[in-house]
C-alpha cells in the first residue's frame, strides 16, 4: 500500500502537460507537434497559403471549446472540382459549387466527422448565415498532394465557400482572414 501511495505521489508531482494536447482545466489547446514543410505546386486560388521548404507548421488535434458564440477566423475556400480545396469533401465525397453555403471546420471542431452535414450559424459583419459542414480543415496534416501542398489549418478555422462570404456581405477587400463567431444551428 505504501508503494502504491508513493507511486501516486510521484506521478502526481510530474508535469505531464508536455504530452497533452488539450488541458480542459485551463481551457487551452496547444500544438501537438510540428510538420516540416516542403515546396511543391500549390493552387493559389483565393490567395491560399502554400507550404515552404524547411518551415515548421504547428499541428493541432484540438480546437477551442464550442460555445454559443465561438470565436474563430473565417477563411475562404472553393469546394468545387479544381478549386483550392483539393479533393472532394470528407463528409459526402462530393464537390460543392461556389454558390453553396458550405464550410470546413478545423480538426478539433470537425471531431472525427461528428458535425458532418450539420448546419452551423456564422455571425459576422452584423449578419448571420447558416452553412453546412462538409469537410475538415485539417489541423494535423498538410504540405502534401492530398492537401494541395497547403500547411495544416490553425485550430480555430471556419473555412467557408464564396457563397458564405457573399451572404455575410463582407467587402471584397476584407476577404481572407476574417473574425467571426459561430455556433451549432
Q: For residues 152 and 32, is the Cβ–Cβ distance under 8 A?
A: no
Give the whole-angstrom CA distance, residue 104 versus residue 106. Answer: 7
pLDDT per residue as tens digits for the range 6-63: 433 333 333 333 333 444 434 578 999 999 987 877 767 666 788 898 999 999 999 9
Regarding pTM above 0.85, the answer is no
Strand 127-137 versus strand 102-106 pairing type: parallel
Amino acid at each position: 500500500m505504501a508503494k502504491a501511495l508513493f507511486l501516486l505521489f510521484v506521478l502526481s508531482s510530474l508535469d505531464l502537460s508536455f504530452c497533452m494536447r488539450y488541458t480542459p482545466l485551463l481551457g487551452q489547446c496547444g500544438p501537438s507537434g510540428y510538420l516540416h514543410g516542403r515546396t511543391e505546386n500549390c493552387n493559389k486560388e483565393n490567395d491560399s497559403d502554400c507550404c515552404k521548404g524547411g518551415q515548421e507548421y504547428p499541428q493541432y488535434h484540438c480546437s477551442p471549446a464550442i460555445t454559443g458564440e465561438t470565436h474563430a477566423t473565417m477563411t475562404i475556400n472553393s469546394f468545387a472540382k479544381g478549386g483550392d480545396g483539393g479533393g472532394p469533401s470528407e463528409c459526402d465525397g462530393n464537390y460543392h459549387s461556389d454558390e453553396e453555403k458550405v464550410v470546413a471546420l478545423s480538426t478539433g471542431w470537425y471531431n472525427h466527422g461528428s458535425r458532418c452535414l450539420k448546419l452551423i450559424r456564422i455571425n459576422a459583419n452584423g449578419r448571420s448565415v447558416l452553412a453546412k459542414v462538409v469537410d475538415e480543415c485539417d489541423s494535423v496534416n498538410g504540405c502534401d498532394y492530398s492537401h494541395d501542398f497547403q500547411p495544416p489549418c490553425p485550430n480555430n478555422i471556419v473555412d467557408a465557400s464564396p457563397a458564405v462570404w457573399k451572404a455575410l456581405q463582407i467587402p471584397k477587400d476584407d476577404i481572407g482572414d476574417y473574425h467571426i463567431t459561430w455556433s451549432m444551428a
